[in-house]
Chains A and B, each alone.
Chain A
Amino acid sequence: MGSEAPPPLPEWASEPCIMGIDEAGRGPVLGPMVYGCLYCALSYQKTLSTLSFADSKTLKEEKREELFENLKADESIGWGVDIIDPRELSDKMLRKNKINLNEISHESAMGLIRKALNLGVLLTEVYLDTVGDTEKYRVKLSERFPNIKFVVAKKADSLYAVVSGASIVAKVTRDRALRNWMPDETAELNRNFGSGYPGDPQTKVWLEDHKHSVFGFPSLVRFSWGTCMSYSKDFVEVLWESDATDEEERGKSSKRQKKLTSVGFTTVKERSEDIESSGKGRCKFFQARKLELLSQF
């Protein structure tokens, strides 16, 4: 949990504890998504409410930083984060067997709970903001952790101090991660991303400045986001083998194929021939290895 070596388990953690979980950075088109948690003994709940977290979104950045430092210094409070890299988001959401954002979120939250339990924290109640269907989420959580009472609610961060505390942990962690982002790319990049939200004018400018016809965007950007799709006219077309097989298997969805041709995509048949030699007309040995005779070139 956090980035320091875990301290020895405090005494209060062996008493019944409550935890709040919240996220930051779900909506932006760039940067990590962060899940944060905050936990303390049930007996500490009242004190927690006085620590004036309020809604992290309404606080100024400096105030949030200050609150986070206070939280970390408070010996009666434990916290943890899961920083989900944008490359992981792009990867999971663009696979053949797609993992959607809600699933990723659920797994992250459950990971935080698991970590606390593994540390020996006696969690009895966990409060979370809703992600997807509220009741389905609550049931999923209860099935994974039968000894915990779950409260899943809309705007949980404004209802429960543990959740608003968690939201501060998540937000500050995300802001720092973005500020300290180390790009993989050695291409020229500036750091004026803005908030990263697709509607943010500064973010829009950053995307325009950093788009590339072949590579798309730096990997800070979430390629699975609709925002990226809208830049497709600026990118050269890339046809993936796994998409082609996917369509062959789905085969009869001509409706989808029509849509694709209308935006300039080629048909499935053309695709697989583009991508690989078919070894057509040759014996199995060559076909299986995609080898064809090139007598003229």
Chain B
Amino acid sequence: MDGRDEGSSEMEAPIAVDLSRGSAAADLTGKVHQLPCCIKHDGPTPVSQYFKPKPTEMEVDGLKVEEAHFRGRKLHGTTVALPRGYSGFILGKKCHDQGNNGMNSQGWVTAATFEDITVWNHDAIPSKDDAFLRAFHWFTAANALHQTVTAEDLESACIDWELV
């Protein structure tokens, strides 16, 4: 995804994201791969015919290391389950015509979901310190940040105003 939003600058309709899993939504668990490269191509391609990850004997930080090849480079990766309460969504654009004032409202619908992701490195064995894996820390931080604050919490965190 990029920051561009074609069209919405011309209209003021909100952009809706529909996360309901319709019958058409595929389950791509086990099939989503984050590669350490940018492939300048958008569209279908026969991934399962060419990209063949294999398990290895290696285990690092409790992560089981897999290996694969892409364009001749050897990749090492690991599959991580998304934390409980979270899912991965692959969204597709949906454009509805609102009719009345000819206003189009753009939206996104769920094309597929996934419950794990395989993260790949080139020239480095995966570790829990990899940026992508550390991104999941956000969930813990977000939960802590957004939890309701109790009176006790306030008291124990209180600043002594007399000293300020």
Contact = CB atoms under 8 A, between A and B. Distances in A.
Interface of A: 87, 90-91, 94-97, 184-187, 212-216, 218-219, 221-224, 228, 236-242, 271, 274-276, 285-286, 288-291, 294, 296-297
Interface of B: 1-3, 5, 8, 15, 36-41, 45-46, 48-52, 69-74, 108, 122-123, 131-132, 134-135, 137-138, 141
Given A95-B73, A97-B123, 10 more contacts: A87-B69, A87-B72, A185-B52, A213-B41, A218-B50, A239-B37, A239-B38, A271-B38, A288-B134, A289-B135
B79 to A, nearest CB: 19
A163 B141 CA distance: 66
A213 to B, nearest CB: 7
Given A187-B46, A290-B131, A222 B72 contact: yes
A96 B123 CA distance: 7
Contacts of A187: 46, 49-50
Contacts of B36: 240-242, 275
Contacts of B71: 215-216, 223, 238
A296 B15 CA distance: 9
Contacts of A222: 72
Contacts of A238: 37-40, 71
A242 B123 contact: yes
7 contacts: A91-B74, A185-B50, A223-B73, A241-B37, A275-B38, A291-B135, A297-B5
A223 B5 CA distance: 38
Given A214-B39, A239-B37, A241-B37, A291 B138 contact: yes
A40 to B, nearest CB: 37
B5 A236 contact: no
A94 B73 contact: yes
Contact of B72 (A94, A213, A236, A289): A94
A212 B50 contact: yes
